[in-house]
């Protein structure tokens, strides 16, 4: 069965860095676009970043552009999110999510991880 398991969350000071990982299993990871979506405490969902199945293209929300970097290692079935220059407003649960359609042009998510909490606080 499909599993997405995030790790790497924690408490970090403003201006600090953190790298999240998402270990995937149960599907052909190298065939699917992958996303990071976050949810601030008590708030709604916010799309953060996308990487194509082959890593050839990456896209970011304006709120994180220039500070966050999405990447993937298809040999390790793992998705990453490098987060630099963190701000208090980046505090959220971060989910990795899988595109429903392989190599597709429409992005909606059929599987999500359990989420990892990132807290930016001094």
The residue ranges that bind other proteins (CB under 8 A) are 33, 35, 44-47, 50, 57, 59, 61-62, 95, 100, 105-110, 112-115
We find the least distance from the C-beta atom of residue 108 to other proteins, in angstroms, to be 4
User: Is 65 in contact with 1 (CB distance < 8 Å)?
Assistant: no
* CA atoms within 13 Å, Cβ hemisphere of 91: 13
Exposure b/e, 2-36, CB count within 10 A at least 16 = b = eebebebbeebeeeeebebbbbbeebebbebbbbb
We find the least distance from the C-beta atom of residue 23 to other proteins, in angstroms, to be 15
We find the least distance from the C-beta atom of residue 122 to other proteins, in angstroms, to be 27
């Amino acid at each position: 069965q499909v599993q997405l398991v995030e790790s790497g969350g924690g408490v970090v000071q403003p201006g600090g860095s953190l790298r999240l990982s998402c270990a995937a299993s149960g599907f052909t990871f190298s065939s699917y676009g992958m996303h990071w979506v976050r949810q601030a405490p008590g708030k709604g969902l916010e799309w953060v970043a996308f990487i194509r199945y082959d890593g050839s293209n990456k896209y970011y929300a304006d709120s994180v552009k220039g500070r966050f970097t999405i990447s993937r290692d298809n040999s390790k079935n793992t998705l990453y999110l490098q987060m630099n220059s963190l701000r208090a407003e980046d505090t959220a649960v971060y989910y990795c999510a899988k595109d429903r359609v392989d190599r597709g042009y429409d992005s909606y998510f059929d599987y999500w991880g359990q989420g990892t909490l990132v807290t930016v606080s001094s």
